[in-house]
Amino acid sequence: MRRTSFWRHGREPAPGDCRARSACRCEERRRVLVRWVLTAWLIAAAGILNVSVAAADPWPKYQIIEWQPRNPAQLATLKRIGVDAAAVIADRDGTGTPLPMQTAPLIQAGFHWYIENAATDFYSAYHRWTPGKPGNWRFIELQKRYRADPNDLTALMRDPSLSDPVWQAHIDARLTAIVHQEQRFHPLFYSLGDETGIADLSAFWDFDFSRESLAGMRAWLRRQYPSLAALNAEWGTDFRDWGAVRPETTIQAMHRTDGNFAAWADFKTWMDVAFAAALRRGTDAVHAADPHALAVIEGAQMPGWGGYDYTRLARAVDVMEIYDMGDSLPIARSFNPRLIALTTSFGARPSDIHAIWRELLRGTRGLVLWDDNNSIVQPEGTLGQRGKVYAALFAELHRIAPLLIAATPHEDPVAILYSPASFRTQWMLDQQPKGDAWIERGAATELEDDAFRTALRGYVTSLSQLGLQPHFVSAAMLPALRDKALILPDTLALSPADAKAIAGFAARGGVVIADRQPGWYDAHSRRLPQPALPPGIARLVAPDDRTALSALLSQAGVAAPIRFTAPQMDVEMHTFAAGTRTIVALQRSSPGEGNEAVELTLPQRMLVTDLRRGVALGRWQKLTVTLGPIEPAILQIAP
């Protein structure tokens, strides 16, 4: 979960929020807002608002973005330490602060900006600010209603429905108007919504049984099944016409004893489809109004419920501010290498600095600063302690990040199957014995580990410790797989086509690795009499068994071109191709203590330069790198 405050959604931090943050001081912020608006009016009166920003590369460099509004003294100091841009809140209904009033101080200070929360009421309907209530109060009310009366299907109807054509047209028109208003300033991007989700963030819920959603689902199902008879055979139903088709609720599915959850799982798949399609429609509206504009969602959650199927979501927007939990960042970038990924910093503790560097090495191209207590720059413009830490960091980020952005991340020929169908199946198997307890589950609960997440993370960690950089593939990508190894983490669900593609990959010499026998369910979560993938094709290796993994991968011809050894094996390596040169970054997997000597082995004697220090280290084939507890070592290797 994410920063949430008076400025963002107007609520106190919820007890279950995953990130610690200071309590809101609303009265103080109201005073700040008054001063800020008066300043904007004065600047507007001086005629500064007629300035137009020249069009440029839509993402020219690593961007550091301040979220909260700041006074001129603070903006000047932020500019000095390397902050590039700021957020301005979209005036969605004409009752908010007009955009020219918000942007005037930014123009005077030489800042760029982006438009925040342009359609949060649509894309984040159950996680947004209402005065005097928690941000997710609408979701909590639904849980109460459904718990009291499980026959009340109105509690399962999303308001607004993502499939409602009236709302879709309304959002199209609003986005078009906002983009046309701001087009001459070329904002960094337009935020469709913050902390978006089908329900509350990544919370599980039986959305959406509304008339519009069911109509959309039936049309989608007709493209998935060759006939109504085929659907009835899969679901174990006897619908006489497509108009009568209704999915099972979670309560109904949990009462099944035959292991056939298809009528439930297909509906959950449909909601992921509807969510991604709604976001794609918003992105298309932004592009139609300005072909050079970018659309974003913020607070993107870890893979799971709430619409967070990254095989569909990764291409729904241009930019994503994302929580790198559950390997969401490398998963999203695998399915859309052009995705511009951002992350948010909440502080300048060692763990925060470690995360900023780690996420840069994993592909982020910008940083949002969440500062609800002026800890970076105080109101009079002096640097706070957090700002002093950031000043040196930002200078280095602006120097190092462009090198990484311009380079191409290395990928080893190792693919990991990301299977939302298996995630859904695993969730049902875990929750079915608990009966109706799922109604009480919230967004924070759904961040908990299960066999699916544990296996996926375990394989990623082990491969990283072997110096390998895998990539993720979807089931649809299996027939065209050209890698040497395929890993199937907790892959319970496989279609016949999936199983055939995996068997063909193995027959061509590819090594298939799994932590358990794959394919006991089909891709619709229906239990099979025997596994879809015949036993013996997948070699069973525990995710944390690096020795066995290394041996199998060596047999497949997979070897890291650059290798490292570390005493504690708590190091991640990232390599990038930069023309004839290679950039190698080493960082502790998590914040550590003290220094660690890491031995790096190169393919041959090569010229090594320490990019962070700007020092040539000479020609080496083996060298020892002293790695600190927080920050990475970043080396350039030249022939």
The predicted pLDDT at position 17 comes to 37
Structure-block tokens of residue 317: 């927007």
Residue-wise pLDDT tens digits, 271-290: 999 999 999 999 999 999 99
The predicted pLDDT at position 592 comes to 86
> 109 to each of 31, 72, 106, 112, 209, how far by Cα in Å?
21, 7, 5, 9, 49
pLDDT > 90: percent of the chain: 87
Sheet holding 538-540, edge to edge: 471-473, 414-417, 485-488, 511-514, 538-540
Average pLDDT estimate for 386-399: 97
Give the distance, in angstroms, between the CA of residue 478 and the centroid of all CA atoms in the same chain.
23
The predicted pLDDT at position 51 comes to 41
> 332 to each of 64, 103, 297, 338, 347, how far by Cα in Å?
21, 32, 13, 10, 25
Give ∠ CA 104-23-145 in degrees, rounded to 5: 100
> 350 to each of 225, 355, 372, how far by Cα in Å?
52, 9, 19
- Cα separation, 500 vs 434, in Å, equals 35
Contact 119, 92 (CB under 8 A): yes
Query: What is the pLDDT of the chain when averaged over all its residues?
Result: 91
Tell me: pLDDT of 514 over 90: yes
Residue-wise pLDDT tens digits, 316-355: 999 999 999 999 999 999 999 999 999 999 999 999 999 9
Tell me: pLDDT of 32 over 70: no
Domain boundary assignment for the chain: 26-405, 414-555, 563-638
Q: What is the pTM of this model?
A: 0.91
**E-only strand ranges, 338-403:** 340-345, 364-369
Report the largest interatomic distance among the alpha carbons of the chain, rounded to a whole angstrom. Answer: 76
Average pLDDT estimate for 473-484: 97
Residue-wise pLDDT tens digits, 528-550: 999 999 999 999 999 999 999 99
Cβ contacts of residue 550 below 8 Å, gap of 6+? 466
Tell me: pLDDT of 410 over 60: yes
DSSP for 303-329?
SSSTT--HHHHTTT-SEEEE---TTHH
| H/E run at residue 422 | helix 420-431
- For 563-638, the fitting CATH number among 3.30.420.40, 3.40.50.720, 3.90.220.20, 2.60.40.1180 is 2.60.40.1180
**pLDDT band, residue 29 (cuts 50/70/90):** very low
**pLDDT band, residue 57 (cuts 50/70/90):** low
Average pLDDT estimate for 414-435: 98
Backbone dihedral angles phi then psi of residue 569, each to the nearest 5 degrees: 50, 40
The predicted pLDDT at position 59 comes to 84
The predicted pLDDT at position 129 comes to 83
Backbone dihedral angles phi then psi of residue 502, each to the nearest 5 degrees: -65, -40
Average pLDDT estimate for 54-69: 81
Cβ contacts of residue 260 below 8 Å, gap of 6+? 235, 236, 525, 526, 527
Mean pLDDT is lowest, of 4-13, 34-43, 85-94, for 4-13
CATH hierarchy code of domain 26-405: 3.20.20.80
- Cα separation, 396 vs 173, in Å, equals 42
441 exposure class (CB count in 10 Å sphere: 0-12, 13-18, 19+): middle
| H/E run at residue 423 | helix 420-431
Mean pLDDT is lowest, of 102-106, 243-247, 568-572, for 568-572
Question: Would you call the peptide bond into 160 cis, given omega within 30 degrees of 0 as the criterion?
Answer: yes
pLDDT > 70: percent of the chain: 91
Tell me: pLDDT of 12 over 60: no
DSSP for 168-231?
HHHHHHHHHHHHHHHGGG--S-EEEEES--SBSBT-------SHHHHHHHHHHHHHHSSSHHHH
The predicted pLDDT at position 36 comes to 46
User: Looking at the DSSP assignment, which residues form a beta bridge with residue 308?
Assistant: none
The predicted pLDDT at position 357 comes to 98
The predicted pLDDT at position 568 comes to 84
Residue-wise pLDDT tens digits, 152-169: 999 999 999 999 999 999
Average pLDDT estimate for 546-568: 93
Tell me: pLDDT of 228 over 50: yes
The predicted pLDDT at position 442 comes to 96
The predicted pLDDT at position 508 comes to 96
Tell me: pLDDT of 5 over 80: no
- Cα separation, 542 vs 536, in Å, equals 15
- Cα separation, 556 vs 509, in Å, equals 8
Tell me: pLDDT of 54 over 90: no
Mean pLDDT is lowest, of 282-291, 392-401, 589-598, for 589-598
| Nearest Cα residue to 106 out of 175, 200, 172, 43 | 43
DSSP for 264-281?
HHHHHHHHHHHHHHHHHH
Average pLDDT estimate for 40-64: 54
**pLDDT band, residue 18 (cuts 50/70/90):** very low
**pLDDT band, residue 95 (cuts 50/70/90):** confident
> 170 to each of 2, 92, 207, 454, how far by Cα in Å?
28, 11, 21, 42
End-to-end CA distance of the chain: 45
- Cα separation, 260 vs 199, in Å, equals 25
User: Looking at the DSSP assignment, which residues form a beta bridge with residue 449?
Assistant: none
DSSP for 571-604?
EEEEEEEETTEEEEEEEESS--SS-EEEEEEEEE
DSSP secondary structure code for residue 53 in this structure? P
Tell me: pLDDT of 42 over 60: no
Structurally, what CATH architecture does the domain formed by 414-555 represent? 3-Layer(aba) Sandwich (3.40)
Give the distance, in angstroms, between the CA of residue 14 and the centroid of all CA atoms in the same chain.
21
Average pLDDT estimate for 619-630: 96
Reduced to 3 states (helix: H, G, I; strand: E, B; else coil), residue 112 is: strand
Residue-wise pLDDT tens digits, 487-502: 999 999 999 999 999 9
